[in-house]
Amino acid sequence: MYYRIFDCWRLTAALLVMAYHFLYFAPPGGEVAIAFLRRLLPLLDMFFMISGFFITSRYATRLSTVADYGVFMQRRIARLYPLHLATTVFFTVIALAVWAGLVATTEPERWDLSVLPLHLFALHALGATDHLTLNYVSWSVSAEFFCYLLFPLIVVAIRRAGLAGLVILLAAWLVGLEIAGAQGVFPQGHWTRADTFGAYRAFADFVIGAIVAVLARRRIFDVRSIAPGLSVLALAVTGMILEWNPYVSLAGLAVAMLLVALAETARPDSTAALSFLMPVTRVSFGIYLLHPVVETIFLSILWKRVIEPTGLIGFYAYWILPMLATIALAMLSERLFEKRLGAFFADVGRPGQKERAAAV
């Protein structure tokens, strides 16, 4: 089953995050757009919800042994780690240049090389630091791996108590998050805004996605149009803009996902008109993870040091270029780099691995 709407939502969220970060280079007046887009950052929770939905749909009935879980983790690492590793290396080189005094910076805490091992082992969203470093958006990669590590909890909950088991797991996790938040554990305040502690936030979203997957599989009611789901999504986004209680937006995202999943499973061909977008939606993760790289080259260097001083072009006209460059780079990365290195990681320890590694 192919969920085109979900892929379009992930792409939209990635593009909005990219636009938000690029706007920090805008001239005075850009603060208004930044403040507006900052209110939409809870859309990041949708990334993890959709991930929980897909992982539960595909693997909840396929993990029965430790070996099954090992294969599952190996495939997940093969999917996410190559690009994470590449961007970490890129920003490590910059950090070394900062450390050597070759590059000036107003964010010395971002280039703290003592946290490099945390990045390499994707542990930097578990609360080991109180600030984002190197590729600052990669906390979500760490959070995603944390969700994969705890995925057996979801599998056990489903097999022992079905939907009720998942609801109990979610409730217990949310209570824990609220207690931790009340004790000041999260530097950003409420757990729904956590990033350096984002792994714990992400798992709550992941479980919500798993609940949606179970409900969609049961087809608790018949929905054949995506309109209800889009309407609820619009309501959830409105809640973000008006800064309603974050639980309202999370609930809205979950209900919107359920309605769309029910509609697309009932009429898979109803979204066929979106097929032309799939090559781009497929690289949403790449857009998200690579845009700080493009930001460094096109905005920190080219814009700030070369183009802006000339006054030949306005920021908002130039702003489109790094966004298009990010999309192009993500598509090239997916085709020429991620698939090849991912194949290597996926084959490690399997028969014939040495020959395939040599070919890669």
Higher pLDDT, 50 or 270: 50
What is the band of 60 on the pLDDT scale with cuts at 50, 70, 90? very high
Residue 151 above 50 pLDDT?
Answer: yes
Q: Is the pLDDT of residue 10 over 90?
A: yes
Do residues 23 and 40 touch, judged by C-beta distance below 8 A?
A: no
Say if CB 24 and CB 136 are below 8 A apart. no
Predicted pLDDT at 359: 47
How confident is the model over 80-130, as pLDDT tens digits? 999 999 999 999 999 999 998 888 888 888 999 999 999 999 999 999 888
Res 164 pLDDT > 70 = yes
Q: Which amino acid is at 8?
A: C
Question: 10 Å Cβ neighbour count for 316?
Answer: 12
pLDDT > 90? residue 54: yes
- Most trustworthy range by pLDDT among 25-34, 37-46, 147-156, 344-353: 147-156
pLDDT above 80: residue 59: yes
**Helix then strand then coil, % of the chain, to nearest 5:** 80, 0, 20
What is the rounded distance in angstroms from the CA atom of residue 316 to the CA atom of residue 80? 32
Task: Say if residue 252's pLDDT is above 60.
Answer: yes
**Tokens matching residue 191:** 């757990």
Question: Does the structure show a pLDDT above 90 at 241?
Answer: yes
Q: How confident is the model at residue 48 (pLDDT cuts 50, 70, 90)?
A: very high
Q: What is the pLDDT of residue 356?
A: 46
d(CA 88, CA 318): 27
Cα 204 to Cα 76, 145, 147, 232, 273: the distances in Å are 19, 14, 9, 20, 33
Looking at mean pLDDT, say which of 27-31, 38-42, 317-321 comes out highest.
317-321
- With tokens 């190996």, the residue in question is 74
> Chain centroid to CA 304: how far?
28
Contacts of 12 (CB under 8 A, 6+ apart): 43
pLDDT in tens, 306-351: 999 998 999 999 999 999 999 999 999 999 988 888 888 777 766 5
The percent of residues above 70 in pLDDT, for the chain, comes to 96
Banded model confidence at residue 1, pLDDT cuts 50, 70, 90: low
pLDDT of 351 reads: 56
- Residues 12-18: what's their mean pLDDT? 94
Average pLDDT of the chain is 92
